[in-house]
Amino acid sequence: MQDLLWQLKDTDAFTVYIAAALVAAVFWFIREIVDAPVLAVVSVPFLMAGGILSPLVFRSAMITFAYDQDTNVAATVAIGVVTALGLIVSFKWLWTLLLEHQARRARLEPVAYRSRARR
């Protein structure tokens, strides 16, 4: 845990700027196109964490995508943001399935049928 905190302390500004730009794009996409503003606001910290932590994970696993450091950082941040977005979407989908399953199993009492008054 301490090693992760030291690596987070050494995160450069370029990584944070790229992550913020990608998170802003995903935030706009969720808010405007999907029309879910609350989901957009709630997902921002998770997307930002995915974008900042993914270069650390790839660096510790010694995986590089390009020889240029800036290109490698941009690629790993993009992979992290997309992975976090995939996790958010899958969690939302599973939550919806669970709620639909509970609604389908609910036993609703029928409403008493009122007959017309007799004359």
Q: Considering Cα of 54, then 55, then 58, then 61, what sign does the dihedral take?
A: negative
Say whether pTM exceeds 0.85. no
Compute the half-sphere exposure of residue 4: CA atoms within 13 Å on the CB side of its CA. 7
Q: Would you state the pLDDT for residue 66?
A: 87
Using one digit for the tens of pLDDT, what is the confidence trace for 15-74?
A: 889 999 999 999 999 999 888 899 999 999 999 999 999 998 998 899 988 889 899 999
Q: What is the spatial distance between Cα 64 and Cα 75, in angstroms, rounded to a whole number?
A: 9
Q: What is the spatial distance between Cα 63 and Cα 50, in angstroms, rounded to a whole number?
A: 17
Taking residue 34's Cβ as centre, other Cβ atoms within 10 Å add up to 11
Does residue 102 surpass a pLDDT of 80? yes
Q: What is the spatial distance between Cα 109 and Cα 24, in angstroms, rounded to a whole number?
A: 47
